[in-house]
Structure 1
Amino acid sequence: MAGGFPRTGHHRPGRLREHLLRRPAPAYRRWPSRTGRRVNPLVEVEGLTIEDHAGRTILHEVSFSVGAGEAVGVVGESGSGKTTTALTLLGWVRHGLRVVSGRVRVADAELTGRPEKEARAARGRLVAYVPQSPASALSPLMRVGDQITEILTGMTAAERAARVAETLDLVELPDDEDFRRKFPHQLSGGQQQRLCLALALANRPKVLVLDEPTTGLDVITQAAVLAHLDRIRRDLKVGVILVSHDLALVAAHTDRVVVMYQGRVVEAGFSRSLLARPSHEYTRGLVAAVVDHRALGGSPARAVISAAPDGPPAIGPVSLLAVKDLHASHRTKGRAIVAAEGISFEIRAGECLAIVGQSGSGKTTIARTVVGLHRADHGAVLLDGSPLPPSATARGRDELRRIQYIFQDPFASLNPRRTVGDSIRRPLRVLRGMPEREARAEVARLLERVRIRKDIAAAYPGELSGGECQRVAIARGLASSPDLLVCDEITSALDVSVQASVLELINELRRDLDLALLFISHDLGAVSVVADTIMVVERGRCREYGPAGEVLRTPQDPYTCRLVEAAPSLSEALVASTRPADGAGVAK
């Protein structure tokens, strides 16, 4: 639509709740609760407009409110302004941006225009923030227990110790001394995300701002953490702003939802009714892009390996990649922690094997062993039947080119001092020997394939959103024209529409280039789209191995059943919601 989407969706007569959300400020000052009582909201964002120093509008008259004990979801594609909006609730805007007009109030405290010292005093005590990238938010030099203890104020030593234990238990992390003495790099991605949640909850704030809080969590842990958060906001009357691209999560765990596009609110309403019957074409596009593992229509068309009754299939001579009896461990304080035990699988050209399981199950260790970033205790990794050296530093240029790794955290994997173009151009020059002029043209083509503007090549990773940064990492992985792509949670930071396009792109590459995939993910919806075969691992052991359709529809192992049942489903969230029906409790 020329000129962008209008600020609000089409009004539907008779729907009082949605009509109230579409009224301009100050209509948001008092929101009718589900019980019919009018309440003063904890959070009021009214007519917020933010520009950069070049005068370009980043946010345009954004308005919404959050009541005590209420959760409001903010959804939209990467670059829509979700995170910029969330950060204003902490009285902070990114460098290069400025608030032009509007106001932000949290618990009757005005945060816009306040000195940094006063705004900082409100953070943690009044409002707490959980960032999208836990690895970049945690101090690598501080132990787990110290990071939580440091932010606790006004308590005795005994009270701080009790609060640390209580908070770790709240997010289902161990509260023993061994775990408290670990450093962030010794934790899995899911554990790092839960530690960030613990830091946000430590001072029991009135408002929680969660920016993609489940990105690094497996489905079982995600369900447990969100259940705890639901209980906390109900019992303590904490207001929650949930920034997410996961519409199933938003439908199940929020009361209202705000849909953003290019810095504008295009539609807002109660989560259940809006996502079930979106009125705006942009929202309809987001809902249509959701991949639901429970709607799996059938097994992939490509032939798959049949699982043996007692475990993975025997390794055949025709595989592109074969892993035989892999054993890998991590050593700490003289102890060996087993991460993979007796793992065997094969991947043929053009085939996708997905490895699923909880955080800490050994998925990433297996993947890192394949690319030579972790040395196995014993076992073999073969490429076209030839053993690969266990370390990447001992592998030849062609062996490195043929297997590429896309990491879970794009911010940590991209050099912050190199532009996007430089990061993508390096493998083109080093691994493919491409001339500079040809490499620049190839960078532009790769960016277009992952749906990023060509001018992003001149930007640095710190200037990009989480979703944009992940797409850059995918483009860099494709730059060397690999035969096998190892994808470690590559869709976890992507919004639903971009995720759908990336999954479509991956399937297209598999078909056109016979590209093989080792796909690590906790998103069973994404797995159902790309995987031919699924291997389920728990604590380093293979629990189930077979065709994707069979594993997702009729899992045999109890652990696999738990994973499938815990995976979020938008259709089920809309049907099985226990919230009051539309129209109940509306103030007359």
Structure 2
Amino acid sequence: MNVNVTTSARRTAEANGAGQVRADLVAVDGLTVLGPDGRELAGPATFRIPAGTVTALTGPSGSGKTTVMRALLGQLPSAAARTTGSASVAGHDVLALDRIALQRFRRQHIAYVGQDPGSALNPLLRVRALLREVAPRAPESTLIDTLALVGLSPDYLRRRPGELSGGQQRRVALARALIRRTGVLVLDEPLAGLHGALRTDIAGQLAALARERSAAILLSGHDTALVHSIADDIVELGAVRPASPPPSPSGGTQVRAERRSALPPPDVASTGERARNCHKPSAVSTDNRPPDVVLRAENISASIDGHRVLADIDLALEAGSALAVVGASGAGKTTLARVLAGLHHSATGSLELRGDPIAVGANRRIHHGAGGIQLVTQNPRSALNPRRTVAQTLGRPLRRIGRVARRDLAWRIEEILAAVELSADLAARYPHELSGGQRQRVALARALAAEPAVLLCDEITSALDHTTAAAIMALLDRIRSERDTALLVITHDMALVAGYCPRLIVLDQGCVVESGDTGTVLTAPTHSATSELLV
């Protein structure tokens, strides 16, 4: 792996008083992570994180950001992986600690939030219990204040993870890390899956917390402008970033010194007022051509544990069309996708696939087989079975849905990998041996193996760098054109929406509040929920 690491030459020299140099809570020197076969998985990386500062770890998908972050916890990709160089966190050589010492170190000194934080939340516990699990002595006021830091109201203390959107689960996981008040915070894509205004707010809160608590924060993120604006230092893995900002005289990368001030939490009470202002537009059709409607949804409503999360949604998807569904975290986007895919059981309304009625709320993925509906989820790491190779993952839908003969599997797998622009030699690899972009393409290939008429993509680019995200969207654009597949894209990336989806609908509090031509809506939004997405 060709890895180029750069850090800023500027270091913050003040902590509690002028002229006091802050101690480095994290010190990494020449850290390289090697796979069992000696292949470089990440590094070499060298950087320092003083107390009271934020360091951004950036680089394209597959550059090793997550691997470096997890190494700071003493976690390697596999038991056979090894490292060179060193990593010191809060004075501990984390790569040399035994199992018991490592557990004690993690409890006392470091908090980590991964790219799939929902998988770490016990589905049986309410949010109050999830916070108490890591901070048993914290008073109720601290629980409420910590949720406010991540833009959640006290009402969420009573909810379980299954009642939360992906973005809300991410925020609860972040709250669990913050309430522990450890000296070191390692946050892998903490802003992914959040809309513009909320991303800006939480980023500002993290920068303020680093100063107030004298904590060291290492975070990754593909919203580079926002991440760079709060970072004291930038460590880049992979290809060298274009010269913006320009190189400093010392040869490092000059990083803006100013920080955004911590913004107040969103006005949670205003969301109820917005919900009362929802309107019911006519069904959204994604083209002006004569309609060849593949999927029609009417009066779709859904609840989770008694909470209504969708209200009377209408939409229509034509063959070869692309429709974006956008909205703030918790607006109901993922629930809508799950209802359309037949994975949400407490839904009402009507659905038609190519003019034939299909049940709402029943699992239809295998029953309908080829020509049905497939969902690609946000987190391929949790969606892909870690014990199956890529070939085994793709072979399952080819055999069960496509009825492909066993003797033809090898070349069909190679064909599908080529369709998502992956080389055939990846067929023998396991998910942990793939980059985030590669895992997302494998998840997409698995959906395509079922030869769907409708492809639902839920935030599949949120944790990818802009180049990889654009490549995934270009791939989807080619697939829908070549296969006449109807595409529904859920995303917070308005640039990708503008570039690849001619039509969109905006959800807020489970209602459609705005819809129409993408360019028109984004240029002149008429609802505050749309405007907040553009911040």
Q: TM class, shorter-chain normalised? A: 0.7 to 0.9
Aligned equivalent of 1:493, options 453, 457, 463: 463
- Give the stretch that moved more between structures: 322-331 or 548-557: 322-331
Deviations 1:56-94 (A, max 9, x none): 333443201112222221122333221111112223323
* Whole-Å separation in 2 of the counterparts to 1:470 and 1:402: 21
> Equivalent residue for 2:443?
473
* Whole-Å separation in 2 of the counterparts to 1:393 and 1:175: 34
> Contact 2:284–2:516 (CA<8 Å) still a contact in 1?
no
Aligned equivalent of 1:228, options 205, 208, 212: 205
Matches within 5 A, 1:190-339: 190-261=167-238, 267=240, 272-273=245-246, 311-312=281-282, 318-332=291-305, 335=306, 337-339=307-309
SS at match of 2:77: coil
Aligned equivalent of 2:359, options 389, 394, 397: 389
Aligned equivalent of 2:75, options 56, 73, 92: 92
* Whole-Å separation in 2 of the counterparts to 1:146 and 1:462: 31
Q: 1:190 to 1:238 in 2, by over 3 A?
A: same
> Equivalent residue for 1:299?
none
Q: Does 1:54 align with 2:31?
A: no
SS at match of 1:146: helix
> Contact 2:123–2:162 (CA<8 Å) still a contact in 1?
yes
Q: 1:92 to 1:378 in 2, by over 3 A?
A: closer
Q: Does 1:427 align with 2:397?
A: yes
Give the structure-2-normalised TM-score: 0.84
Q: Does 1:454 align with 2:437?
A: no
* Whole-Å separation in 1 of the counterparts to 2:182 and 2:244: 24
> Equivalent residue for 1:535?
505
CA shift at 1:142, angstroms?
A: 3.1
> Contact 1:321–1:381 (CA<8 Å) still a contact in 2?
no
Identity of aligned residues (%): 34
> Contact 2:294–2:453 (CA<8 Å) still a contact in 1?
no
CA shift at 1:6, angstroms?
A: 6.6
Q: 1:474 to 1:123 in 2, by over 3 A?
A: same
CA shift at 1:537, angstroms?
A: 0.9
> Contact 1:257–1:268 (CA<8 Å) still a contact in 2?
no
> Contact 1:43–1:67 (CA<8 Å) still a contact in 2?
yes
SS at match of 2:349: strand
> Contact 1:256–1:270 (CA<8 Å) still a contact in 2?
no
* Whole-Å separation in 1 of the counterparts to 2:243 and 2:208: 20
Q: Does 1:113 align with 2:92?
A: no
Q: Does 1:373 align with 2:356?
A: no
What letter corresponds to residue 201 of structure 2 in structure 1? A
Deviations 1:347-390 (A, max 9, x none): 22111111111122121222222222225754322223332232
CA shift at 1:124, angstroms?
A: 4.5
* Whole-Å separation in 1 of the counterparts to 2:91 and 2:242: 24
Calculate the aligned-residue CA RMSD, in Å.
Answer: 3.1
* Whole-Å separation in 2 of the counterparts to 1:378 and 1:84: 43
> Equivalent residue for 2:147?
168
- Give the stretch that moved more between structures: 541-550 or 404-413: 404-413
> Equivalent residue for 1:515?
485
* Whole-Å separation in 1 of the counterparts to 2:284 and 2:376: 28
> Contact 1:356–1:535 (CA<8 Å) still a contact in 2?
yes
Deviations 1:202-243 (A, max 9, x none): 121222111111223333332332222122123223221112
SS at match of 2:24: coil
Q: 1:448 to 1:238 in 2, by over 3 A?
A: farther
What letter corresponds to residue 164 of structure 1 in structure 2? L
* Whole-Å separation in 2 of the counterparts to 1:210 and 1:549: 34
* Whole-Å separation in 2 of the counterparts to 1:453 and 1:212: 27
* Whole-Å separation in 1 of the counterparts to 2:476 and 2:65: 27
What letter corresponds to residue 242 of structure 1 in structure 2? L
Q: 1:172 to 1:124 in 2, by over 3 A?
A: farther
SS at match of 1:374: coil
SS at match of 1:73: strand
Deviations 1:293-330 (A, max 9, x none): xxxxxxxxxxxxxxxx9833577982423535323222
* Whole-Å separation in 2 of the counterparts to 1:99 and 1:420: 24
SS at match of 2:411: helix
> Contact 1:326–1:340 (CA<8 Å) still a contact in 2?
no
> Contact 2:365–2:372 (CA<8 Å) still a contact in 1?
no
- Give the stretch that moved more between structures: 412-421 or 556-565: 412-421
Aligned residue pairs: how many? 502
SS at match of 2:399: helix
SS at match of 1:42: strand
> Contact 1:356–1:520 (CA<8 Å) still a contact in 2?
yes
Unaligned stretches of 5+ in structure 2? 254-278
* Whole-Å separation in 1 of the counterparts to 2:304 and 2:53: 44
What letter corresponds to residue 227 of structure 2 in structure 1? V
What letter corresponds to residue 170 of structure 1 in structure 2? L
